[in-house]
Amino acid sequence: MFPKPIEKQSRAAQISYQAMLPLALLLWLGPLLAVALFSVKPAADFTNANYWGLPSSFEGAFNYGQVFFNSDMPRYLLNSFLITIPTVIGAVALSCMTGFALGIYKFKSNLWIFFMFVAGNFVPFQILMVPVRDLTLQLGLYNTKTGLVLFHIAFQTGFCTLFMRNFIRALPFELIEAARVEGISEWRIFWYVVLPLMKPAIAALSVLIFTFIWNDYFWAVVLTQGAESQPVTAGITSFNAQFRAAYQLMSAGSIVAALPPVAMFFLMQKHFIAGLTLGAVK
């Protein structure tokens, strides 16, 4: 293990390490903790310039209540879920198939198609912006959740295919050969042999895509406009305009908007990190 395990060092080193950990964490999350502190303060603290002292009264329940019952925030949150969940299902489903095709079969254009998915996944959003917006307008899907979902599924298929294909490549190929010898059709091989083995990859991709799509801002701004279809990342700017200078409410709103992916991360930590670090180890 590198660096040298702290247990093997002097007592003083151990104690100072243990003391440094919480300090470093406090420093690292400082800006975020500040927002958390803001979100439980009463409005009066801001008018009295009591920014950093203890809250003069604990108004967490009131502030978060305002966010949930007195603003469009629940609407935005619901939109975010209605955009994120279908995208996760769609992109994962499509990429299970593309990953299977590119991971199992040998044909001439295999590597080129694979590279096309990878390259497409890296292009700057701006080069897609005008044509995609135009296409969405023509389909009559501008300012709808469906329009946003369709684009997200298509774009995420690039990354998901990269992920799935590499995962399937690492499966034992003998399994498929054995199934073919048995005369099982290709579709059944996919459904009954390969798909059950892909569960960890599906779990990892689902949490990753959930986070990516939940946190998307650019496409939300380009393809949607009002509270009826905007996800929370885009909605929060309108929210902040509504509660301008009410820092306690803007802070509470930000925390609410950030929470679902955070919860997802803590619940599915193992899968999340396995997904993010795929390829980081040989």
Partner 1 sequence: MSAVDTPEQESWFHRNQQRIAPWLFLAPGLLFFMVYVIIPVFQSFNLSLYEWDGLGSAEYVGFRNYEDLYWEWVDRDAFFVSLKNNLIWLILYLAAIPAGLFIALFLNQTVWGIRLYKSLFFFPFVISQVVVGLVFTWFYDPTFGLLNEFLGVFGIEPLNVLGDERFVTYGIIFAGLWPQTAYCMILYLTGLNAVDPEQIEAGRLDGAKGARMLWHIILPQLRPATFIAFVVTIIGALRSFDLISIMTQGGPFGSSRVLAYYMFEVALSEYGFRMGYGAAIAVILFLIMLCFIAYFLWSMYREERGH
Window 202-241: residues binding partner 1 (CB under 8 A): 211, 214-215, 217-218, 221-222, 233, 236-237, 240
Pick from 62, 68, 81, 265: which binds partner 1 (CB under 8 A)?
Answer: 265
| Closest approach of partner 1 to the CB of residue 252, in Å | 12
Residue 5 is a binding residue for partner 1 (CB under 8 A): yes
Pick from 100, 142, 163, 243: which binds partner 1 (CB under 8 A)?
Answer: 100
DSSP H helical ranges for the chain: 11-28, 30-38, 43-47, 60-69, 73-104, 110-122, 126-138, 145-169, 174-181, 186-188, 195-197, 199-214, 218-223, 232-242, 247-267, 269-276
| Closest approach of partner 1 to the CB of residue 186, in Å | 4
One-letter identity of residue 170: A
Interface with partner 1 in residues 12-51 (CB under 8 A): 14, 17-18, 21, 24-25, 28-32, 34-35, 38, 49, 51
Residue 7 is a binding residue for partner 1 (CB under 8 A): yes
What CA–CA distance (Å, rounded) separates 119 from 115? 6
Interface with partner 1 in residues 46-65 (CB under 8 A): 49, 51-52
CA distances from 231 to 146, 213, 235 (A): 12, 10, 6
| Closest approach of partner 1 to the CB of residue 129, in Å | 7
DSSP H helical ranges for 123-185: 126-138, 145-169, 174-181
Contact 114, 179 (CB under 8 A): no
Pick from 23, 61, 127, 241: which binds partner 1 (CB under 8 A)?
Answer: 127
Residue 281 is a binding residue for partner 1 (CB under 8 A): yes
The residue (of 57 and 185) whose beta carbon lies closer to partner 1 is 185
| Closest approach of partner 1 to the CB of residue 38, in Å | 8
Residue 207 tokens, joined = 């949490």
Pick from 59, 77, 149, 158: which binds partner 1 (CB under 8 A)?
Answer: 158
Residue 200 tokens, joined = 């960890």
Interface with partner 1 in residues 64-83 (CB under 8 A): none
Residue 106 tokens, joined = 């040998």
| Closest approach of partner 1 to the CB of residue 228, in Å | 20
Residue 102 is a binding residue for partner 1 (CB under 8 A): yes
Among 58-66, 70-78, 93-101, 195-203, the segment contacting partner 1 (CB under 8 A): 93-101
| Residue that is written with structure tokens 């996760």 in the block | 88
Axis crossing angle, helix 269-276 with helix 247-267, rounded to the nearest 10: 80
Pick from 68, 89, 186, 203: which binds partner 1 (CB under 8 A)?
Answer: 186
Residue 183 tokens, joined = 């005369």
